Amino acid sequence: MSSKDQKVEFKDFFRFTKDGKMKSGTFAYSITYAALILIVYGAAYYFMIDVLAPLTKGLAPWLSNLISAIVPALVGALICLIPLKLISNKKPFFLGYVWIAVFALMFLIAMIILLKDDREALSIFLHLFVIMVPAPLLIGGGSAWYFWKRSEKLERISEDND
């Protein structure tokens, strides 16, 4: 049975062998990809917000916020998805986005609890959270999911043709 034929379950990601190595590299790869994705998106927002602010100054606030959310998310997604062509197993890359979603949800809950008494600080946090979190997860995570499923389909087609 080849390694591709073995079924790996979620709980197997956390199991270790006798020598301390992980049974599945997917866990380690996905966490590493999550860190790299966060760095890329952080840099995209850091550099793009100052560029976009003067361009969106005269627009309605909702449109300005939408542009400030989507443009850096698109730039970050493009940068993250370029090397995806070089990665044969695209599942851990998509799982990196899943980890980011889990961490973002945990962070959101913690901040709501911590800022429950300070309405102004909570409002500012939620505003920034809505601008900086959903767009990258939807655009980048959706694209990574699409490329992962597409590569699986192409792999099945090539196996069927053999």
122 lies in some domain: yes
The rounded distance, in Å, linking the Cα atoms of 5 and 7 is 6
Over the stretch 61-82, which tens digit does the pLDDT of each residue have? Answer: 999 999 999 999 999 999 998 8
pLDDT at 44: 94
Over the stretch 14-31, which tens digit does the pLDDT of each residue have? Answer: 555 656 565 667 888 899
Domain that holds residue 153: 22-161
The rounded distance, in Å, linking the Cα atoms of 143 and 94 is 9
The rounded distance, in Å, linking the Cα atoms of 139 and 78 is 10
pLDDT at 2: 46
124 lies in some domain: yes
107 lies in some domain: yes
15 lies in some domain: no
Q: How many CB atoms lie within 10 A of CB 30?
A: 22
pTM given for the model: 0.79
Over the stretch 36-45, which tens digit does the pLDDT of each residue have? Answer: 999 999 999 9
- Per the structure, how many domains does the chain have? 1
Residue with tokens 């003067």: 54
Residue 156's contacts (CB-CB under 8 Å, 6 or more residues apart) are none
74 lies in some domain: yes
